[in-house]
Amino acid sequence: MRFPLLALLATGAAALAAPRSECLTPKVFIVSMFSPEDVWTAPLKLTHNVSLPGLSPLFPHVKCDKARDVCHVITGEGEINAAATISAVVLSDKFDLRKTYFLFAGIAGVNPHVATTGSVGLARYAVQVALAYELDARQMPSNWMTGYWIQGTKAPGTLDGANIYGTEVFELNTNLRDRVRALIPADIKLNDTAAAAAYRASYSYAPANAPPAVFYGDVATADVYFAGSLLAEAFGNITSLWTNNTGTYALSAQEDNASFEAMVRAHQAKRVDFSRVVLLRTASDFDRAPEGKNTYDEFTADQGGFDPAVQNIFVAGNYIVQGILGEWGAFKGGVKPQEGWLHDADVFHTLATKRAGLQRRGVERRRVGRGVPLVE
Ligand SMILES: *[C@@H]1O[C@H](CO)[C@@H](O)[C@H](O)[C@H]1NC(C)=O
Ligand SMILES: *[C@@H]1O[C@H](CO)[C@@H](O)[C@H](O)[C@H]1NC(C)=O
Ligand SMILES: *[C@@H]1O[C@H](CO)[C@@H](O)[C@H](O)[C@H]1NC(C)=O
Ligand SMILES: *[C@@H]1O[C@H](CO)[C@@H](O)[C@H](O)[C@H]1NC(C)=O
Ligand SMILES: *[C@@H]1O[C@H](CO)[C@@H](O)[C@H](O)[C@H]1NC(C)=O
C-alpha cells in the first residue's frame, strides 16, 4: 500500500507543534462521584463544558470556570466508573494536567471511633479492602472472626503469600495533606443539622457523639456498601495490614482506589503528578450501629448526616481550592512528598521504581521529573 510518508510526517509535526495554549491547564481539578456531591458547579460558575470520549453517559462533560483555572468531573459511582472516567480525563489531549492539583471530594461512611457524621476527613491511604477471598460467615472455620481474608493467604490477619494486584493500597502525599489542612481555618464552622446531632447522641462515646470536625483518616474502598461492627472491624484490620499499621480505617467509600490506579498509571505516563492529589471525604453515615442497637435497623435509619456531609464538601473543600489558586506561586512547583512513602504511591512502588530508574540513568532531575519531586 502506498501511504504518503510526507503526509504522515506532516500530521506528526502538526500534532507536535499544536500550540500548548489549545490545551486546558487547570490549576485545580475537582472530582465528584455522583450528582449530590457536585456542590461546585453553581458557586464556582463552572459553565464551560468540555466533552471527552470515555466519560460516564450520565455525566458527559468536564466543566470549567471561565478562566479555565478550575475544572470538575463526576465519575459515576463505584470502582468501575471511577477508573474509567479518571482514565478518560487524564489521558485526554484536551488537558495538560502535569501541574494540576486534584481534589477528590465525596461523602463516605464513617468509623464512629475515629469521627462523626458531618466531619471532613483528609486521607493518606486508600485501601481496596474487599479485594479478598470471602466465605459466608455461616460456613467459615468456627474460630474465625471474619469471612474475608487476603487472596493467596491462608487465613485472616496476614499478608503472607498475598497475591498482589497492585491496587490494594495507595498512599498520598502527606506533606500536601498538611499544607491543604492548614488552608482550612482551625475555627471553621462546619454545617450541621438538628437531625444529625440527634442521631449522633445515640452513641455513648466520642468522637461519634461530638460535633463534626476536620480530621485525618484513611479511606477503605469497596464496591460492596458494607455496614456493621464485624465487617467494619474486619476491613479495619485489612487496612492495618496493607499499611503496616500506619493507616487507620476511618471512612468507607466505593471509588478511591480505582481513581488512584488511573492516576498512578497517568503519572507513569508523565501526564499527571501523583504527588498533587488530595483525598477529602465527608462523613454521611456511620458504618456500625450504636452499642446494643440492631445493625440492620440503624443501617436503614435516616441518620441525618447526608445533608451536612454534602454541604461540608464545599464548606471545607473550597478553602483548599481557593487556597491553591490564591497561593499558586507557592503551589505551582509542587509539594515534596514525605520521605520513605510506605508504598511509594502503590504496592508496586511505582514512584520509587521511577526514581531508582532515573538515578541509575543519571537523568537530570528537572528535565524528566516533570514536577515529580524526586529524592534530593
Ligand atoms: C453543559 O453540560 C450540561 C450537562 O453535562 C448541560 O446541562 C448544560 O446545559 C451544558 N451547558 C452548556 C453551556 O452547554
Ligand atoms: C487502595 O489504595 C490504598 C492506598 O491508597 C492501598 O493501600 C490499597 O491496597 C488499595 N486497595 C485496593 C484493594 O486496591
Ligand atoms: C481484628 O484484629 C484483631 C487483632 O488481631 C482481632 O482480635 C479481631 O478478632 C479481628 N477482627 C475481625 C472481625 O477480624
Ligand atoms: C513495618 O513496620 C515495622 C515496625 O513498625 C518496621 O520494622 C517494618 O520495616 C515496616 N515494614 C515496611 C515494609 O515498611
Ligand atoms: C448549612 O446548613 C444550614 C441549615 O442548618 C443551611 O441553611 C445552610 O445553607 C447550610 N450552608 C451551606 C453552605 O450549605
pLDDT of 269 above 50: yes
- Cβ of 128 below 6 Å from ligand 2: yes
If one counts the domains in the chain, the total is: 1
Which residue is closest in CA terms to ligand 1's atom 5? Answer: 61
Give the model's confidence band at 11: pLDDT under 50 very low, under 70 low, under 90 confident, else very high: very low
- Cβ of 342 below 6 Å from ligand 4: yes
Give the model's confidence band at 258: pLDDT under 50 very low, under 70 low, under 90 confident, else very high: confident
Q: Which domain holds residue 309?
A: 23-368
Residue ranges of E strands in the chain: 28-32, 48-51, 61-64, 70-74, 101-110, 120-122, 125-128, 133-134, 148-149, 169-171, 214-216, 218-221, 249-253, 277-286
* Cα of 44 from ligand 4 centre, angstroms: 44
- Ligand 3 neighbours (beta carbon < 6 A): 145-146, 156-157, 230, 233-234, 237
58 alpha carbon, closest ligand: 1
Which residue is closest in CA terms to ligand 3's atom 14? Answer: 234
Cell of 112: 464512629
* Cα of 246 from ligand 4 centre, angstroms: 9
pLDDT tens string 216-233 = 988 877 777 888 999 999
Which residue is closest in CA terms to ligand 3's atom 4? Answer: 237
Q: What average pLDDT does the segment 73-94 reach?
A: 93
Q: Which of 53-62, 78-87, 160-169, 354-363 has the lowest mean pLDDT?
A: 354-363
pLDDT of 365 above 50: no
| 375 inside domain | no
| 3 inside domain | no
| 14 inside domain | no
pLDDT on residue 344:
59
| 339 inside domain | yes
| 9 inside domain | no
pLDDT tens string 295-338 = 999 999 999 999 999 999 999 999 999 999 999 999 999 998 88
Give the model's confidence band at 358: pLDDT under 50 very low, under 70 low, under 90 confident, else very high: very low
pLDDT of 107 above 50: yes
Alpha carbon 10 to chain centroid, angstroms: 41
Q: What average pLDDT does the segment 168-189 reach?
A: 92
Give the pairing of strands 218-221 and 169-171: unpaired
Give the model's confidence band at 254: pLDDT under 50 very low, under 70 low, under 90 confident, else very high: confident
Q: What average pLDDT does the segment 80-89 reach?
A: 93
Which residue is closest in CA terms to ligand 5's atom 6? Answer: 191
pLDDT on residue 363:
28
Rounded Cα distance, 180 and 312, in Å: 15
pLDDT of 374 above 70: no
Whether 217 contacts 115, CB under 8 Å: yes
| 161 inside domain | yes
pLDDT tens string 40-75 = 999 999 999 999 999 999 999 999 999 999 999 999
Give the model's confidence band at 200: pLDDT under 50 very low, under 70 low, under 90 confident, else very high: very high
243 alpha carbon, closest ligand: 2
| 103 inside domain | yes
**Backbone phi, psi, residue 148, to 5°:** -100, 130
Whether 76 contacts 38, CB under 8 Å: no
pLDDT on residue 261:
86
352 alpha carbon, closest ligand: 4
Check residues 333 and 172 and name the one with the higher pLDDT: 333
Q: What CATH number is attached to the domain comprising 183? A: 3.40.50.1580
* Ligand 1 atom with minimal separation from the 61 CA: 5
* Ligand 5 atom with minimal separation from the 311 CA: 14
Q: What average pLDDT does the segment 79-96 reach?
A: 94
The dihedral through the CA atoms of 91, 96, 98, 103 has a sign that is negative
| 2 inside domain | no
Instruction: Report the percentage of the chain scoring pLDDT > 90.
Output: 62
- Angle, to 10 degrees, between the axis of helix 306-326 and the axis of helix 174-183? 100
